[in-house]
Amino acid sequence: MTVSVALLFPDLLGTYGDSGNAAILAARLRWRGIDSEVITVRSGQPVPDSCELYVVGGGEDLPQSQAAVQLGADREGGPLRRAVDRGAVVLAVCAGMQIVGRSFTGPDGAPAAGIGLLDCSTEPGRGPRMVGEIVVDPAPELDLPALTGYENHAGATSLGPAAQPLGRVRVGCGNGPGRGVDGARSGKVIGTYLHGPVLARNPALADLLLTWAVGPLSPLDDTECDDLRGERFAAVLGRPRRRVRAGRG
Amino acid sequence: MSVGRRGLAVLAAIATTVVERCTLGSTVVATERPPLPARTRLAAGIGLATAGLSRRLGRGGGSVIGGRAILAVDPDALARLAAGRTVALVSGTNGKTTTTSLLAAALGGPGAVVTNLLGANLPPGLAAALAAGGADLPAALEVDEAWLPRVVQATRPRAVALLNLSRDQLDRNNEVRTLSGGWRAAFEAHPDVTVVANADDPLVVWGAGRAGAVVWVGAGQPWTDDAGGCPACGGRIDFSAAPGRGWACLGCDLARPALDVSLDGPAVLWRDGLSVALRLQLPGRANRANAAMALATAAVLGFDRTEAARKVESLDEIVGRYAVVDAGGVRARLLLAKNPAGWLEVFDFVRPAPVPVVVAINARIADGRDPSWLWDVPFERLQGRLVVATGERSRDLAVRLRYAGVEHVRRSDLLEAIGASGAPDVDVVANYTSFQQLRSRLA
């Protein structure tokens, strides 16, 4: 059997290298001898409901609402909802998380319907745009090491009772200033504001998603990822903050 | 290079003393145009003196700190220094420095034109360039894409060349289409500007859409992933026509405009039938496109197209880019690529395997703090040769190369990285600040 990873609308939702998440999932299966493929679904193409994993990335306001409509946000059911009902795994990053939530603010400033896979809603944050390195301590039941990423968003996300946060924010903003948490999860659907892309910096999260899709996995040599993680944690947590000079040239 | 706010204050104070003495007897900036206000003359003098001091102290080119001093003394200095002068601006994500250099050459080169090199493309750098150059010379200025509206407002250019827009420094320019919208509003407010615009980039076409006059150039834009959603209606843009043949929105009537200037193999073809042969020494498709943009802009300023073409052919490097240097016995060709769109063009002229490629990645403010764009570069194309990952973010790159299936090693030190492959010839592709570091290490 070939495990399929669907990369949804990279032409609309691919601003922050999020297509890397799909490539990483497929590679980590391949390296373990499991056949895998990335199915790239571009805007305007039909979304298959038969894949094992789905990756939805971040994007700008206008493309985001385009993508939501193509995923069936404006009608009952839709391919992604059908896939999740069948047991598919979804990783939704930034605008992707907003889309798979219940509602987000559209480009015209009015609330737009999401797909409702996660019980969360997003509105424009009150403060400045949230940009920078972020460190999240995942919820204990996920049994994951600390997550490192980079966030860049204006939206602030509130969770309803049917969603749990991905984890507690140690550095950065996550779902919004003062909320102290990042992301949303429900069943096998995970949303987060971490890009980088998130799975490049957090191979254990990649393997958790893969385990949900295909069962237990053998370990891989992640020395290079560990090097990168060590550097990022040292940069963000390890040293006192220093003033940074602005400007080019 | 910045020497910090306190250093600036000290330098400006010293410079003020120097300038006050010399402004008593003679004007600092000679002019036959409407005379500059005393405040602007003083500002320019202080700026030049500050820049000179900065250079003598070994702090770099000095244009940024000098320009800051100018704008601190006279906040309107940019407008006043540009007033009455023929100004052409060049902006966009990629190719600004190269196109500005080509345009400056087309306008007659050093001595005949005022220009800002070394990437000092914010208002301080622009003010410093104008203050340092002859007051009645035309100016060819590279302008940061986010600052373009304010610089258009201040300098009242005759022509503005718009090259392309794509993701770059996303931590600062959060949404590419916001930049495009800002351009559109700026040109609507200044209908006397002639825009020379890349018709192959929908975000540029939208940005130029309200200009009083547009020269549309088929300059190409192989990277299309930032323009999939129509800037006018949000509909889907269809790029399925053959590359360079056009694009159209499926939801509204935004489409590639008819071309006034196009690339015809190695020649540039104008709609009036004139075909100008180009024998560039700079490599690649992107540089032919940059040259076409520069020639079209020179033509707007009234320069002879064929003569201008002869002048741009003389350039064989652009502030170190494309130069081949000796680095500890290795012949290293230096190339710049700072975002996915730039990388697509660089793949076009990186030498074929087995020539190793050294890739240097930093993530300083001028690079963008977020190197996630590495995942949008198809590094898979470097399979079959050794890649050396270096720069301050070489670990991000190493992970990317691992997933791309590219054989690689990592060396933190830039010069050590050039020697690491053991090959006599390498191509070095660096992003913005790592390129600067490399140049100063090799100097």
B169 falls within a domain:
yes
Pick from A17, A132, A225: CB nearest B372: A17
If one counts the domains in chain B, the total is 3
For B199-231, b/e burial (b = at least 16 CB within 10 A) is bbbbbbbbbbbbbeebbbbbbbbebbbbbbbbb
Does the pLDDT at position A116 exceed 50?
yes
In a 3-state reduction of DSSP, which class is residue B18? helix
Mean of the per-residue pLDDT values of chain A: 92
B319 falls within a domain:
no
If one counts the domains in chain A, the total is 1
For B110-130, b/e burial (b = at least 16 CB within 10 A) is eeebbbbbbbbbbbbbbbbbb
Q: How confident is the model at residue B14 (pLDDT cuts 50, 70, 90)?
A: very low
Q: What is the pTM of this model?
A: 0.86
Give the percent of chain B with pLDDT over 90. 67
B55 contact residues in A (CB cutoff 8 A): none
Minimal Cα–Cα distance from B312 to chain A, Å? 25
CB of A20 less than 8 A from some CB of B: yes
B251 falls within a domain:
yes
pLDDT value of position B25: 34
| B-chain residue closest to A133, CA distance | B370
Higher-scoring residue by pLDDT: A229, B167: A229
A180 falls within a domain:
yes
Give the pLDDT mean for B50-61. Answer: 70
A10 falls within a domain:
yes
pLDDT value of position B174: 60
Same-domain status, B181 and B305: yes
The per-residue pLDDT for range B121-152, each reduced to its tens digit, is: 999 999 999 988 888 899 999 999 999 999 99
A121 falls within a domain:
yes
- Check if the interface score ipTM surpasses 0.90: yes
Lowest mean pLDDT among B132-146, B172-186, B205-219, B429-443: B172-186
First vs last C-alpha separation in chain A:
54
Question: What number of C-beta contacts closer than 8 Å exist between A and B?
Answer: 127
**Which of B171, B203, B403 is most worth mutating to test chain A (most A CB atoms within 10 A of its CB)?**
B403
The per-residue pLDDT for range B334-388, each reduced to its tens digit, is: 999 999 999 999 998 899 999 999 999 999 999 999 999 999 999 999 999 999 9
Q: Do B125 and A18 touch (CB under 8 A)?
A: no
Taking the C-alpha atoms of residue A106 and residue A155, their distance in angstroms, rounded to an integer, is 11
Cβ neighbours around B22 below 10 Å, total: 12
Same-domain status, B57 and B174: no
Taking the C-alpha atoms of residue B123 and residue B143, their distance in angstroms, rounded to an integer, is 8
Same-domain status, B203 and B335: no
Q: Do A249 and B119 touch (CB under 8 A)?
A: yes
- Residues 120-139 in A contacting B (C-alpha not used; CB under 8 Å): 129, 131-132
pLDDT value of position B29: 42
Q: How confident is the model at residue A246 (pLDDT cuts 50, 70, 90)?
A: very low
The per-residue pLDDT for range A170-211, each reduced to its tens digit, is: 999 999 988 999 999 999 999 999 997 999 999 999 999 999
| A-chain residue closest to B379, CA distance | A20
| A-chain residue closest to B229, CA distance | A63
Range of the domain at B17: 4-75
Same-domain status, B289 and B202: yes
Q: Do A43 and B228 touch (CB under 8 A)?
A: yes
Residue A58 has which token pair? 């971040």
B312, B332, B356: which is the final residue of a domain? B312
The per-residue pLDDT for range A60-112, each reduced to its tens digit, is: 887 888 899 888 877 777 899 999 999 999 999 999 999 999 999 988 889 99
The three-state (H, E, C) secondary structure of chain A, written as one string:
CCEEEEEECCCCCCCCCCHHHHHHHHHHHHCCCCCEEEEEECCCCCCCCCCCEEEECCCCHHHHHHHHHHCCCCCCCCHHHHHHHCCCEEEEECHHHHHHCCEEECCCCCEEECCCCCCEEEEECCCCCEEEEEEEEECHHHCCCCEEEEEEECEEEEECCCCECCEEEEECCCCCCCCCEECEEECCEEEECCECCHHHHCHHHHHHHHHHHHCCCCCCCCHHHHHHHHHHHHHHHHCCCCCCCCCCC
Q: What is the CATH number of the domain that holds A221?
A: 3.40.50.880
Same-domain status, B370 and B412: yes
The per-residue pLDDT for range B314-337, each reduced to its tens digit, is: 999 898 899 999 999 999 999 999
CB of A227 less than 8 A from some CB of B: yes
Same-domain status, B237 and B186: yes
The per-residue pLDDT for range B223-246, each reduced to its tens digit, is: 888 887 788 988 888 888 766 678
Same-domain status, B351 and B304: no
Range of the domain at A33: 3-238
B107 falls within a domain:
yes
A247 falls within a domain:
no
| A-chain residue closest to B1, CA distance | A249
Same-domain status, B249 and B133: yes
A248 falls within a domain:
no
